Amino acid sequence: MVWLSRAGYIQTERPVTVAYESDDTVSFRAETWRHDVASNPAVLSNAIASGRQGNIHFFDSINIKRYNTGVGVTEIKAENHIWTAMVDYWENSGATANKMDIISHKGDIYLGYNNGAAVGYNHKFYVANQQNPGWNITQKAPSAGCSWPAMSSVSYDENIFKYYVPATNTSGHLWIKAGWEEKTDRNSVPDKTSNSNIDTSRASGGNIYFTHIDVKQETGSKHPTVISIPHSGLWLCGRDSLLHNRRGDAMEYYENAGIISGVRRCLFPYPDASITGARNISDRIGLIYRGAIGDLTVDAGNRGNIIFNKGAYLSFEDPSSTGDVVFRTRFGDIDMRTPFNVDTMTGSLLFLAQIENIADLEHSGFCGCTEERNNVYLQDFEFKAHGASGSVFVGADNNIKLNYGGLQNIGTRHDPFLSKDYTPCRDGGQAKIGWGYDGTTCGANLHCDAIESENQARPFLMRFDKDANGTAITKGGFAAVASDYIDVYKKFAYYGGSGDGMGSVPGTGTLHGETVTGYGLFMKTQANKGNWNVNIFENTPTCPTPCDGTNCGHDYLHMVSRMTFHDDAYIEAHNQEVMLWSPVIETFGDMTLDSEKDKGSKTEITLKADSLIFHSDFIKKGKNIKLSTWSGLHKDLPIMKFGHMRKTPPFIEAKKDDCDAITECVPCYRYIRFSKDPLHMLDTITIKFGDGAYMERLNTVIFDHTVLTCLTDSFDHVKGGAVQNAQIRTDTFKIRNQVDLFADEKHERDAHLELISEEQMGSKDYAGIYTKHLHMEPIGACGTPYSELWTSDDLALDVITTSIFGGFGFIHSDVHVENGGHLNAGFTSLRLKGMCYEQMCGTQRMKDLRLDVGAQLHFSVGTSKGLNGEYSDAIEVDRLTTYGSVDVNIEIRPCEKIEKRCYPIIYYKSVTPNSLNQLKLNPRKVKIDGEEYPLHLNLGTDGVVYVCVGDAQPVDINRTVTLPSVSGVKTDPGAGIWDVKSRGNFKFKATYSGSKPLAVRTNRTVNGVPEMLTGTKNANGEYEYVVPNVQQDITLSIGPDYVSNQLLAGTAVWSHGEMIYIRVDRADIASIYSVAGQLVRKVDLPEGDTSIPMSRGAYVITLKDGSVHKVIVK
């Protein structure tokens, strides 16, 4: 039974029903020139003129029932495009090998693409229209001109492709293929020949679109399903856009290039937004597949995406149903949106976005399509294992995102994920926007790391111990392998069970080159592309390397390849091998590793990473847990970083930033010791050792924005039970943002900090932190350019012989340096071993500094300005005391020079008599361009010690103070920017038109709040103010005095890095101007702190009260 158009097209306007008992073929073919030439030239000319030559259009339903018992073929083949409304295929139980082929040779397949509209569409995102720009017959409602038979009701949700196969069919198949030219090798299908030729560039290969497919295969049938294209020419990376910055037409081309299910993202009309109503919207699940022995293969070929906009349901219910499911692309993305549910598989499930020859990844290079391609995104995935279960495998050349929910745009070359169009902002950044997710479709809920409930995707649960009925699972596991990033956005939970673990990966044997067979859980980021060339643990630079950002010439291993759990990570290994392997593993929720419960002979959990970062609790249970490193660090022990704590970050986490205003997930938390204001409090990390607990000595430990305490053995007296003194022993202890070492009155909780020598490392038994090197990073809370540390009981820090203290922070205690102890300011603390943001000079601050005879001070000098605005490291102290000769060691930073000038190295507010004379300089001479010059200490400037070269003398350094123009306030000097000598005082007067003075604040902070100036009223009624010790550019604000929680909130504007920070005590509007007076950006400010990314430059910011603030983004 054959419908054949040799030179024209096939078009139906009413239901087509076929009931066929023969084994012969049932064909619908519009295959131009493939079989016979046109017998009537008018047919050919009419088909060409209308643009429908070689097309098949089923504007109404097609229903095929086959009652044969042998081998029958049903085929729908078109030279170009195939369009259907609903299709229903059924065969009786006697059929043994029936097949169905739906093939477009040169075009696309649109299954269910008819929204019942009475007009056609000339829509550029239909490939058919790109080949024939003036043609508008694509999808269309059945003609109303026929009175009988009645037309079917058609809509996206009514147009279902239904396919039923009985158990007796053991040799058939279902093929849905577009763009194949009847070739079986995807590499032999012609690709584009010219970017200027619309036909070859856009229509090469093919695309497959389907609204809803519902396949039911009875148990015992072996009937594989293949949905495939050789490649898609609709969107070409590098021509239409790069992957990370697609927008406008490029985004639409991307969304429609490949194998696309569910019409489009969200419940939006398509393709014409002006036609409203349910018929124009797809809401029903995109794929329901009840399989048996045959495999399901969805293959987008050499170039094409696989996007399921309305999710899927897969089930192979009988244990004999061993079919695998494979989603595969070689240059594209796999994005499974909305709920994707898998319930029972004996075979395995594979999502693989990988080039054909994985060895070629090392040649991918920096930037461009080859770096960004091949991602796998699962928005809301659930897998239920039963019995002898299959496994879930996910592999990608770039990134994997699991249960991402309402994730916002990221849009970088490292992470090209976009939910909405890439939207650049005027300041050079981009909007943080995206389609939210409510658990079923698009909604208002986006993603926040700090608030786990905001993301409405389900937990990512991999349960291989027992099913919901308590029945044991005997095999199966989960593996995810990506070259660059793996991100899990909801709680990750794995229960290993006692089964056999994972089997072989379908089709490939390995997963992205990794042998995962036998593991219960295997997750790895491989860093196997050619898009990085620096491993900071192996490639120590020869010269200071500032953070100029990554570019297309260099990049860092630990920035390019990471594994992040954005919620809890809970792992019960049971009797399974578990491997988590990445240069960096970061967890925002609790990480629980349990190797004790239901353990067996295979039980082992391995974390293999150079850096482990925890933003909440890290819980280890059992002894079969191994920590290892990616780069083979000293003793194979990773760097461990605790904090910042998840719910109290030292920055604003934005839920949404549309370039004009920011909606916060959480505000910035700036710690103030003893404050009762939640915004100035931090979560506490408590380190507890139970009976027999032991933490091996670590190389480096970082604590970040937290209150830290250890339980002591005296805790037993209160709570009972075995509690030992908890200890951290490490070579280097780093402080980032703000850290408070807390001890209670009875010292049941303590955080004793002690610098010790190598010989003492194993001799301490009291609870606390023991380290040889204490380093403070130049990263502070809410934009502050330095870290802060509070010691327990405000005890002085004792720097003993051979130990080192230094960096870029502010320790809120006294420091005592013993004979042979080292105080290394700024760069000299870590030198070239520091991070890129530490490879420049800076200042270490403290309260009183006491130096024993033989104490060692270290400072670097050079030709580049540092974080302190100077060319040298420095220390800043309240009071300086020396008890004998102290060595002042000067070193020239590598690749830089010392110049004939004076370098400030010590700032002090007061000094014990004769202490400065005890400072002994080393070396005493330097060479500049071959000529030798003496070095000497200049003590003639009160409050500053300089090291000077030759006859150079200290040069006054000027800072600026910006006075605002405020209605009702007159200042002397007037509004403007005024110079003042660095570390000098700036005096001004203010006259107020009101009866009371306004509050005057600076952009400096004192105990976490803007500094308040107190005015003294003189005889003329003016208020006199003094800004003391100006060490930075100061911006003053004059406005009402608001008091909150007994702390002055005030207004402050400052910059750090490429961010401007604005703190206001009530909702406000900031207008940001360039120095030329051009409005750059207007931002609605909520009460509290707001961070605004800006490009480098000078800006003038005005608020509603008329205050003016100058800020420079460096």
* In the chain, domain spans: 1-162+169-214+233-302+311-319, 796-955, 958-1113
Instruction: Confirm if 236 and 192 have CB atoms less than 8 A apart.
Output: yes
Can you tell me the mean pLDDT for 637-664? 93
Tell me the pLDDT tens digit for each residue of 607-625.
Answer: 999 999 999 989 889 999 9
| Other beta carbons within 10 Å of 1104 | 14
Can you tell me the mean pLDDT for 843-851? 98
Question: Which tokens hold the place of 207?
Answer: 């695309």
Question: Which tokens hold the place of 438?
Answer: 């409510």
| Residue bearing the bigger pLDDT, 722 or 598 | 598
Can you tell me the mean pLDDT for 154-176? 96
3-state secondary structure of 707: strand
- Among 621-630, 768-777, 1007-1016, the range scoring the smallest mean pLDDT is 1007-1016
Strand 1009-1013 versus strand 999-1006 pairing type:
antiparallel
Q: What is the pLDDT of residue 199?
A: 43
- The Cα–Cα gap between 248 and 742 comes to 54
- The Cα–Cα gap between 707 and 682 comes to 6
Can you tell me the mean pLDDT for 872-897? 97
626 phi/psi in degrees, rounded to 5: -120, 130
> Dihedral of CA 784/786/792/795: which sign?
negative
User: What is the SS3 string spanning 775-828?
Assistant: EECCCCHHHCCCCEEECHHHCCEEECCCCEEEECCEECCCEEECCCCEEEEHHH
Q: What is the pLDDT of residue 447?
A: 97
Instruction: Confirm if 418 and 410 have CB atoms less than 8 A apart.
Output: yes
Tell me the pLDDT tens digit for each residue of 677-724.
Answer: 888 999 998 888 776 666 788 999 999 999 999 888 865 555 545 677
Can you tell me the mean pLDDT for 274-282? 80
Instruction: Confirm if 1093 and 1079 have CB atoms less than 8 A apart.
Output: no
Buried b (16+ CB within 10 A) or exposed e, 1045-1061: eebbbbbbbbbbebbbb
- Class of residue 1029 by CB neighbours under 10 A (exposed 0-12, middle 13-18, buried 19+): middle
DSSP letter (8 states) at residue 471: P
Q: What is the pLDDT of residue 430?
A: 93
Cα separations in angstroms, 535 against 160, 317, 557, 580, 840:
53, 48, 5, 20, 19
| Other beta carbons within 10 Å of 134 | 8
Cα separations in angstroms, 407 against 241, 263, 691, 867:
21, 21, 43, 35
Whether the per-residue pLDDT at 552 is higher than 90: the answer is no
> Dihedral of CA 919/922/925/926: which sign?
negative
Report cis status (omega within 30 of 0) of the bond before 667.
Answer: no
- Among 175-189, 245-259, 434-448, 707-721, the range scoring the smallest mean pLDDT is 707-721
- Please give the span between the terminal C-alpha atoms of the chain, in angstroms, as a whole number: 76
Strand 478-482 versus strand 521-525 pairing type:
parallel
Helix (H) or strand (E) holding 1040: none
Whether the per-residue pLDDT at 1083 is higher than 70: the answer is yes
Cβ neighbours of residue 509 under 8 Å, at least 6 residues apart?
none
- Among 302-306, 502-506, 548-552, 1025-1029, the range scoring the smallest mean pLDDT is 548-552
Instruction: Confirm if 51 and 135 have CB atoms less than 8 A apart.
Output: yes
- Global confidence as pTM: 0.87
Whether the per-residue pLDDT at 910 is higher than 70: the answer is yes
DSSP letter (8 states) at residue 48: H
Q: What is the pLDDT of residue 550?
A: 62
Instruction: Confirm if 66 and 72 have CB atoms less than 8 A apart.
Output: yes
Q: What is the pLDDT of residue 1086?
A: 84
Helix (H) or strand (E) holding 43: helix 41-50
Q: What is the DSSP string of 1018-1086?
A: -TTSPEEEEEEEE-S-EEEEEE---EETTEE---EEEEETTEEEEEESS-EEEEEEETTS-EEEEEEE-
- The Cα–Cα gap between 1039 and 966 comes to 8
Instruction: Confirm if 856 and 889 have CB atoms less than 8 A apart.
Output: yes
- Class of residue 1110 by CB neighbours under 10 A (exposed 0-12, middle 13-18, buried 19+): buried
Instruction: Confirm if 138 and 126 have CB atoms less than 8 A apart.
Output: yes
Cβ neighbours of residue 647 under 8 Å, at least 6 residues apart?
450, 451, 666, 683
The rounded mean pLDDT for the chain is 90
Q: What is the pLDDT of residue 50?
A: 67
Whether the per-residue pLDDT at 745 is higher than 50: the answer is yes
3-state secondary structure of 490: coil
3-state secondary structure of 389: coil
| Residue bearing the bigger pLDDT, 628 or 1072 | 628
User: Chain-centre distance of CA 898, in angstroms?
Assistant: 42
Whether the per-residue pLDDT at 35 is higher than 80: the answer is no
Residue type, 650: P
Q: What is the DSSP string of 1040-1054?
A: ---EETTEE---EEE
Buried b (16+ CB within 10 A) or exposed e, 308-320: bbbbbbbbbebee
Q: How confident is the model at residue 195 (pLDDT cuts 50, 70, 90)?
A: very low
Whether the per-residue pLDDT at 37 is higher than 70: the answer is no
Can you tell me the mean pLDDT for 736-740? 97
Q: What is the pLDDT of residue 128?
A: 59
Whether the per-residue pLDDT at 1035 is higher than 70: the answer is yes
User: Chain-centre distance of CA 470, in angstroms?
Assistant: 37
Q: What is the pLDDT of residue 318?
A: 86
Q: What is the pLDDT of residue 915?
A: 97
**Greatest distance between any 2 Cα atoms in the chain:** 114
Cβ neighbours of residue 274 under 8 Å, at least 6 residues apart?
none
Can you tell me the mean pLDDT for 423-443? 94
Helix (H) or strand (E) holding 200: helix 198-203
Whether the per-residue pLDDT at 49 is higher than 70: the answer is no
Residue type, 786: Y
Which of 614, 615, 613, 570 lies closest to 594 in space, CA to CA? 570
Whether the per-residue pLDDT at 65 is higher than 60: the answer is yes
Whether the per-residue pLDDT at 56 is higher than 50: the answer is yes
Cβ neighbours of residue 389 under 8 Å, at least 6 residues apart?
344, 345, 346, 464, 473, 474, 475, 476, 499
Q: What is the pLDDT of residue 1114?
A: 65
3-state secondary structure of 229: coil
Q: What is the pLDDT of residue 127?
A: 63
Q: What is the pLDDT of residue 1047?
A: 31
961 phi/psi in degrees, rounded to 5: -125, 125
Q: Token pair 């019942």 is at which residue?
A: 116
Instruction: Confirm if 756 and 764 have CB atoms less than 8 A apart.
Output: yes
Q: How confident is the model at residue 201 (pLDDT cuts 50, 70, 90)?
A: very low
3-state secondary structure of 589: coil
Instruction: Confirm if 303 and 330 have CB atoms less than 8 A apart.
Output: yes
Cβ neighbours of residue 1100 under 8 Å, at least 6 residues apart?
1072, 1073, 1074, 1075, 1108, 1109, 1110
DSSP letter (8 states) at residue 196: T
Whether the per-residue pLDDT at 1050 is higher than 90: the answer is no
Buried b (16+ CB within 10 A) or exposed e, 196-214: eeeeebbbbbbbbbbbbbb
- The Cα–Cα gap between 79 and 127 comes to 14
Can you tell me the mean pLDDT for 834-858? 96
Question: Which tokens hold the place of 404?
Answer: 């991402």
Q: What is the percent of the chain with per-residue pLDDT over 90, rounded to a whole number?
A: 68
3-state secondary structure of 198: helix
When mean pLDDT is compared over 612-621, 956-965, 997-1006, 1067-1076, the highest value belongs to 612-621
Q: What is the pLDDT of residue 276?
A: 72
Q: What is the pLDDT of residue 795?
A: 87
Instruction: Confirm if 966 and 1051 have CB atoms less than 8 A apart.
Output: no
> Rg of the chain's alpha carbons, rounded to an integer?
35
| Other beta carbons within 10 Å of 737 | 27
Q: How confident is the model at residue 984 (pLDDT cuts 50, 70, 90)?
A: confident
- The count of residues in the chain is 1114
Q: What is the pLDDT of residue 184?
A: 77
Q: What is the pLDDT of residue 1042?
A: 42
